[in-house]
């Protein structure tokens, strides 16, 4: 038989074991409420009365054994949780930071870009053959002159002649600005003083004047005029070497071409295109009707 002192001592030991088990569960990071509630259900209630605490060694021993079993279970759970945490940490370290999936990684994005960049040429968008060739490179620098001889069957030239016809019909030289020799090119071609000013005050102004003059030749219903074609005599094409006519760079030149139009009354018109010169393999008009 155990005395009251023995019973109280056993109770304190049981409570201490219960507290260690609870501490062990809390350390694992598991749900504290569920863990402690389960543990509490397996722990006998201890009161100050020695009779209720148990009067036999077997009762105390059983209670102590249950507490020890619970403590061991808590330790095992803590070990399992630590192993799981270590495994999770290893997995997290192996995944690229900032990505929720492998497709978000830098290497995956690089592969996607490589696939896109290596697409077959027939899958890439086609460039419009009649589109205006660029004057400048990607840095904004004027592209250099070439010695390529222009062709009258060029899609660019054909479209630009249609623009000239439209400019004459509407008496608006700006509609054919693309056909006219570009100012940035004129500034590097000519050796005269202030070529940009000359382009604005003389060259382009004369072009606008001549467009209005040709508009007047279309009669009362200019909008009903029809473009027949352009005549450019290939035999008259010449390569103008540098310094031959106040030019720092060479270019091809052709004079006395004809723009053929049929007016609203079916009258045939042949309008002079006084002078074309080349820039990077395309014809550009510099004088529409006369050199002045």
- The larger pLDDT score, comparing residue 88 to residue 181, is at 181
Containing 70, the helix (H) or strand (E) segment is helix 57-94
Supply φ then ψ for residue 42, to 5 degrees.
-95, 5
Q: Which of 92, 110, 133 represents a domain boundary (last residue)? A: 92
Count of structural domains within the chain? 2
Q: Which residue has the tokens 């148990």?
A: 54
CA 290 to chain centre: 49
Q: In the predicted model, is pLDDT for residue 201 greater than 70?
A: yes
Shared domain for 170 and 281, answered yes or no, is: yes
pTM reported for the whole predicted model:
0.57
DSSP readout, 153-173? T-HHHHHHHHHHHHHHHHT-G
Q: What is the predicted pLDDT for the residue at 86?
A: 44
Within 13 A of 119's CA, how many CA atoms are on the CB side? 8
Q: What is the predicted pLDDT for the residue at 55?
A: 42
Residue 262, domain CATH: 3.10.450
Residues sharing a CB contact under 8 Å with residue 268, sequence separation 6 or more, in sequence order? 228, 260, 261, 262
Shared domain for 82 and 185, answered yes or no, is: no
Domain annotation covers residue 72: yes
Lowest mean pLDDT among 108-117, 147-156, 216-225: 108-117
Domain annotation covers residue 235: yes
Q: Which of the 8 DSSP states describes residue 202?
A: I
Shared domain for 164 and 277, answered yes or no, is: yes
CB atoms within 10 A of CB 165: 22
Q: What is the predicted pLDDT for the residue at 130?
A: 80
Domain span at 54: 4-92
As a whole number of angstroms, the distance between CA 83 and CA 77 comes to 10
Q: What is the predicted pLDDT for the residue at 128?
A: 73
Domain annotation covers residue 103: no
Q: What is the predicted pLDDT for the residue at 19?
A: 45
Tell me the pairing of strands 268-279 and 251-262.
antiparallel
Domain annotation covers residue 112: no
Q: Which of 74, 92, 110 represents a domain boundary (last residue)? A: 92
Lowest mean pLDDT among 61-75, 195-209, 222-236: 61-75
Domain annotation covers residue 252: yes
Contact 201, 216 (CB under 8 A): no
Residues sharing a CB contact under 8 Å with residue 242, sequence separation 6 or more, in sequence order? 248, 249, 250
Q: What is the predicted pLDDT for the residue at 133?
A: 87
Q: In the chain, count H helices and then E strands.
A: 9, 5
Domain annotation covers residue 174: yes
Q: Which of 92, 113, 139 represents a domain boundary (last residue)? A: 92
As a whole number of angstroms, the distance between CA 36 and CA 264 comes to 102
Q: What is the predicted pLDDT for the residue at 11?
A: 47
Q: What is the predicted pLDDT for the residue at 270?
A: 98
Give the pLDDT confidence of 61-87 residue by residue, as tens digits: 444 445 445 445 545 544 554 454 444
Shared domain for 161 and 81, answered yes or no, is: no
Shared domain for 54 and 169, answered yes or no, is: no
């Amino acid at each position: 038989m155990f005395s009251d002192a023995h019973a109280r001592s056993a109770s304190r030991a049981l409570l201490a074991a219960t507290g260690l088990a609870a501490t062990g569960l809390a350390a694992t990071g598991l749900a504290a409420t569920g863990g402690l509630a389960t543990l509490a259900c397996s722990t006998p209630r201890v009161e100050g009365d020695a009779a209720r605490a148990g009067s036999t060694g077997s009762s105390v021993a059983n209670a102590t054994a249950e507490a020890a079993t619970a403590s061991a279970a808590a330790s095992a759970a803590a070990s399992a949780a630590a192993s799981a945490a270590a495994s999770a940490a290893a997995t997290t370290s192996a995944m690229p930071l900032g990505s929720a999936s492998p497709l978000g990684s830098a290497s995956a994005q690089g592969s996607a870009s490589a696939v896109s960049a290596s697409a077959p040429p027939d899958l890439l968008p086609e460039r419009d053959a009649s589109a205006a060739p660029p004057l400048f490179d990607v840095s904004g620098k004027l592209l250099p002159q070439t010695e390529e001889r222009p062709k009258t069957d060029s899609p660019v030239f054909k479209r630009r002649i249609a623009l000239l016809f439209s400019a004459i019909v509407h008496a608006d030289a700006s509609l054919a600005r693309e056909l006219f020799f570009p100012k940035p090119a004129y500034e590097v071609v000519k050796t005269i003083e202030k070529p940009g000013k000359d382009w604005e005050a003389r060259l382009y102004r004369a072009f606008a004047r001549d467009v209005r003059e040709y508009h007047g030749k279309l009669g009362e219903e200019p909008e009903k005029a029809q473009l027949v074609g352009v005549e450019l005599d290939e035999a008259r094409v010449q390569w103008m070497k540098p310094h031959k006519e106040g030019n720092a760079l060479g270019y091809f030149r052709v004079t006395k071409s004809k723009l053929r139009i049929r007016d609203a009354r079916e009258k045939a018109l042949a309008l002079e295109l006084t002078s074309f010169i080349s820039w990077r393999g395309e014809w550009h008009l510099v004088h529409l009707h006369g050199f002045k």
